[in-house]
Amino acid sequence: MFRTAELGQKLPKKEYKAIEPLLREELLELQQALLAQAKTPVIIVFAGVDGGGKGETVQVLNAWMDARWLINRAYRNPSDDERERPEYWRYWRDLPPRGRIGLFLSSWYSRPVLDRVYGTISVAELDERLDRIVTFENALAEDGALILKFWMHLSKSAQKARFKSLEKDPFLSWQVTEKDWEHWRRYDSFTDAAERTIMRTNTGRAAWNIVEGADPYFRSITVGKIIRDTIRKKLEQLADAEHVKSSTTSSPQPPQSNQHSAIEGDIEKILPSATLLSKLDMSLTLSKPDYKARLKKYQGKLNLLHRRAMAKGISTIVVCEGPDAAGKGGMIRRLIAAIDPHNYQVLPFAAPTDEEQARHYLWRFWRHLSRAGDFTVFDRSWYGRVLVERVEGFASEAEWRRAYAEINDFEEQLIEHGIVLVKLWIHITKEEQLHRFKERENTPHKSWKLTEEDWRNREKWDDYEQAAHDMFQYTSTRYSPWVLVEGNSKYFARVKAVKTMCDYLEQALKRKTDLTKNSSN
Amino acid sequence: MFRTAELGQKLPKKEYKAIEPLLREELLELQQALLAQAKTPVIIVFAGVDGGGKGETVQVLNAWMDARWLINRAYRNPSDDERERPEYWRYWRDLPPRGRIGLFLSSWYSRPVLDRVYGTISVAELDERLDRIVTFENALAEDGALILKFWMHLSKSAQKARFKSLEKDPFLSWQVTEKDWEHWRRYDSFTDAAERTIMRTNTGRAAWNIVEGADPYFRSITVGKIIRDTIRKKLEQLADAEHVKSSTTSSPQPPQSNQHSAIEGDIEKILPSATLLSKLDMSLTLSKPDYKARLKKYQGKLNLLHRRAMAKGISTIVVCEGPDAAGKGGMIRRLIAAIDPHNYQVLPFAAPTDEEQARHYLWRFWRHLSRAGDFTVFDRSWYGRVLVERVEGFASEAEWRRAYAEINDFEEQLIEHGIVLVKLWIHITKEEQLHRFKERENTPHKSWKLTEEDWRNREKWDDYEQAAHDMFQYTSTRYSPWVLVEGNSKYFARVKAVKTMCDYLEQALKRKTDLTKNSSN
């Protein structure tokens, strides 16, 4: 989940200085439009790791916007006054009225996450607290509130570096306390609690934005831009709804986005937008003899492991996604070559059938879950909802946004049931894809593989890459991570895929054995 | 919660025979319209106590509608096939496609409730299972499904009578098993689990209908009528949405409701619609000397109890609702007469202020929560959302329907915090109200109390009574029940109110003492 915010993204000062006045002007204008319309309160929540720039970002937003109409709230340990009322009293009390923006630091997320990190509450208790949050945010959103949530992230090493550098500065060293270091030592439990928190509260109505917090210029502009886009969209929706109701009555108009297309173009162009995929080492490769030897070795191992898994009733589900011509087919052949044909099934998914179209999009995947012990390969999968359906507009934004949570819930049910779920993304570079397309064109027995659609999809390469990046962000969790396979070398990719399968099955068998041991004690 | 379905409502056979063909025709017609439109799957869930007529109602619906297009599903203990997949696999598998109706018996509600009744799972685990249900139903509803849920209820004695009568019938006695009697013996735990289940899964998108199950004619027509109204509304909404999108393209039209107004009128007229309020014994009264003596006694007791509560930091919140002229003011005066004026506060709620209007409707109540030990009387309250705002149309149907869950959540937070919450409904009959209105008109020093609005509200007496009935149904829970006070005699009402307060405080003090004892052991 957080790897997508550990890419080392930076914005140089010069470019920051170019963007900042433009963004600022737009934010001010939107703030005025919000006030004039007085229909929707805006609630902006900042959470994340210490040193991720939560407080600094609130500072910047106060400088950019008209601070008279901002409500800033940060919560400490409850006062007497607060302790004598239910926990949420203080949050209700501070809600902004319609038309105004509230910025919340150390909000309702702070205590549940920290209580879990320090082991004061169990996972089930954390879930109960997160339920309360969802109920709270839903009630506000259904009443018309716009809720934006930012999770400011730093990697463990970046957090350490940040604390060290603050400590060296005589004017800033007070910011780093023993408590901060204590939190740092618990970084991994913090990540676990954070991941569960984000997953369970990432609703369509109040979605999380995970922001890389290391570079102040990058994070400020990123947050500002998301706030701008979200408020603008909301104002446009409200204006549309107003328009439908009655096209005669006049109401305050939001700034039109087309007025700003030039400026936006600038910001989009200048702001770096690295994706997780752009950071892969695509030069990884393997010689032919090496490939043959290793493939044989891991296929043999996979065969043994799967037979042991069968015996214990452990099912395996492999999800394969990636760009066209990335080599999914060849890779799948190498996987199943290791498995007894009685026990595997490869399910290719293209456009849904009529029967499938007539039901919820997850139905077609649920129906194909196999019995205990089976090894099932999904060649394309439920992730189509947030990839092709998003990019091609087959699913509305509301539909694909809520799909992240639906997919997480679905996979949680698979894993709870004891299924080994492996999600493989086979990647190739845009150049390598072109090379393979041309090769297919020129090879008679391969030309059938290349369709017009492949060329059309290729034109939307950047959109697909962004969709994949967002998918990794919201659905790559500690209990079910995405495995990114560098696929420019088919040899390398196939061996990595088969080896990954071995690792997963080995771990699952070990867990099962441990469980049996414990229960027999 | 279930008292609203223990009113002994019956429909005579003759009247059933008159209604049945009309309702049947309408249901058939709506079923065809659903099929033709093929946009929305309909999922109808039956749950409730054994003997409440779940299976029989499904039988009736199959006879009424075109069974070829109905999908009937009932679940037993999972088969091998089902056990080897995640629990929800079988429910996903059986989902009806768009345009068709699925009737589900012993559905996803069955196991969580029974596991709780038999103590296999804790309350927290029940909550986790209910979360999964809400996630499941939400995903389907957001995808366009119409979900109707019926809880078929019998009182403990009605259930016993039903089993006894079945056992006497040689052809039906097989229906009653030892398991049924075992469930009956656990009736109270069943009610607890059922209440929590309904409260937590009674969402705006998939609301529960609690149906009195004792009389077959009454329950069949009641269920049929709710299905008819809900499907018709959905089809109308879909047609409207279609109409907005493009007024030129033609699409299957749902049967118009005005075509049926005559028939509907018949059904509405014939079907009994007793409310909880209509069953109160409004003749209860108290003589003046009795009144004086008892009032003094309980006021003295209340004073002592409240002082003990103060010392322990226990706050009290009293909610007073009821028709105009029911005597809320006089009753509140008798309550606070017993409390030290430093420690009580009476908060009257009429129309919200500008500041309140600019926020979520619960904000104005949250802000008035007092500090530990205080005694606060809410003269009208958050229940305005589901009473006056519903009846007068100030809140949309979606708004007041979701308010039940919002209010339950709010009150749960109050109670979890240790606040003693007492909800009093002071009732008078329609005749008594008229009598009091006339008296006010003719008494100079009381005439200011009577406004035009009071007369207008009186015209909507039946709507208010129905709204109150629904409110009791969804918000009267075991941990926070409504207390209905028979108010035709002011003397009786005042004494009952003060005595009720004493009972509540006594119990709360006892709980607190028990807790302290346990923790000091």
Interface ipTM: 0.78
Select the residue from A39, A93, A131, A315 to test the B interface by mutation, using most B Cβ atoms within 10 A.
A131
Interface test with chain A among B81, B203, B312, B360, by most A beta carbons within 10 Å: B360
Q: What is the reported pLDDT for A273? A: 75
pLDDT at residue A246 tops 60: no
pLDDT digits (tens, 9 = 90+) for A388-414: 999 999 998 888 988 998 999 899 999
- Point out the residue among A85, A93, A369 whose CB comes nearest to the CB of B85: A369
CB atoms within 10 A of CB A479: 14
> Which residues in chain B are contacts of A89 at CB distance < 8 A?
366, 369
Bridge-partner residues for A359, per DSSP? none
Q: What is the pLDDT of residue B180?
A: 86
| Measured distance CA(B337)–CA(B346) in Å, rounded | 12
- Most A CBs within 10 Å, among B35, B85, B108, B402, to test the A interface: B85
Give the SS3 label for residue A148: strand
Residue A199's nearest CA partner among A135, A130, A290 is: A130
Collect all residues of chain B within an 8 Å Cβ-Cβ radius of residue A366. 88-89, 92-93
The rounded mean pLDDT for chain A is 89
Q: Which two tokens stand for residue B195?
A: 């209440």
State the 10-residue block means of pLDDT for chain B, 521 residues long.
87 92 93 92 94 91 89 88 89 92 94 93 90 91 94 92 88 84 90 92 88 93 95 90 59 50 63 83 94 96 94 94 94 92 87 87 91 90 96 91 90 92 96 93 81 90 94 89 96 97 94 72 49
What tokens were used for B312?
């322990």
pLDDT for position B147: 97
Q: What is the pLDDT of residue A248?
A: 45
Lowest-confidence pick of A88-92, A367-371, A389-393: A367-371
3-state secondary structure of A153: strand
Task: Name residue B435's amino acid.
Answer: H
Kindly state the tokens that stand for A350.
């293209």
State the burial class of residue A345 (Cβ atoms within 10 Å of its Cβ: 0-12, 13-18, 19+).
middle
Angstrom distance (rounded) from CA A375 to CA A419: 10
The residue ranking higher by pLDDT, B468 or A68, is B468
- CA–CA distance, B70 with B122 (Å, rounded to integer): 36
For B323, residues 6+ apart whose C-beta sits below 8 A from its C-beta are: B427, B428, B433, B457, B461, B464
- Nearest-5° angle of CA A497, CA A502, CA A503? 95
How many angstroms separate the most distant Cα atoms in chain A? 80
Residue A84: list chain B partners with CB under 8 A: 313, 315, 371-372
Q: What is the pLDDT of residue B250?
A: 47
Judged by CB atoms closer than 8 Å, whether chains meet at B86 and A142 is answered as no
What pLDDT, on the 0 to 100 scale, is given for residue A518? Answer: 65
Question: What pLDDT score was predicted for residue A249?
Answer: 46
Least Cα separation, residue B385 to chain A (angstroms): 13
Tokens 């297919």: give the residue: A440
Residue A190 to residue A188: CA distance in whole angstroms: 5
Banded pLDDT at A373 (limits 50, 70, 90): confident
Nearest to A195 by CA among A316, A48, A21: A48
Task: Provide Rg for chain B, Cα atoms.
Answer: 25
Question: Per-residue b/e over A283-295, b at no fewer than 16 CB within 10 Å?
Answer: eeebeeeebeebb
- Across the interface, whether the CB atoms of A142 and B38 are under 8 A apart is answered no
Q: Are B479 and B280 in contact (CB under 8 A)?
A: no
For the record, the structure tokens of B465 come out as 């009574």
pLDDT at B246: 55
Cβ–Cβ under 8 Å, residues A213 and A154: yes
Position A352 scores a pLDDT of 87
Report CB contact under 8 Å: A128, B125: no
Q: Name the one residue in this structure whose structure tokens are 């702070």.
A: A110
CA A144 to chain centre: 25
Of A140, A358, A363, nearest to B92 by CB-CB distance is: A363
Instruction: Tell me which residue of B110, B11, B28, B18 sits closest to B63, measured CA to CA.
Output: B28
- What is the distance between the terminal CA atoms of chain B, rounded to a whole angstrom? 36
Buried b or exposed e, range B296-326, using 16+ CB within 10 angstroms: eebbebbeebbebbbeeebbbbbbbbbbbbb
Whole-angstrom CA distances from A153 to A46, A177, A179, B254 are 11, 19, 18, 52
- Residues in Cβ contact with B101 at an 8 Å cutoff, skipping those fewer than 6 apart: B31, B34, B41, B42, B44, B65, B69, B70, B71
Task: Fill in the DSSP letter of residue B96.
Answer: P
Task: Give the C-alpha separation, B457 to B472, whole Å.
Answer: 20
Instruction: Spell out which residues of chain A touch residue B125, defining contact as CB-CB under 8 Å.
Output: 124
Tokens 């209440």 correspond to B195
- The pLDDT score that the predictor gives to residue B68 is 83
| pLDDT higher than threshold 70 for residue A150 | yes
Give the CA angle between residues B326, B330, B334 to the nearest 5°: 130
Q: According to the model, what pLDDT value does residue B519 have?
A: 61
Find the length of chain A.
521
**Dihedral through CA A465, CA A466, CA A472, CA A474, nearest 10?**
-160
The reply to whether residue A87 touches residue B417, judged by beta carbons under 8 angstroms, is: yes
The residues facing A485 across adjacent strands are A426
Residue A245 pLDDT:
60
Burial class (CB in 10 A: 0-12, 13-18, 19+), B288: exposed
Of the candidates B93, B131, B409, which has its C-beta nearest A367's C-beta? Answer: B93
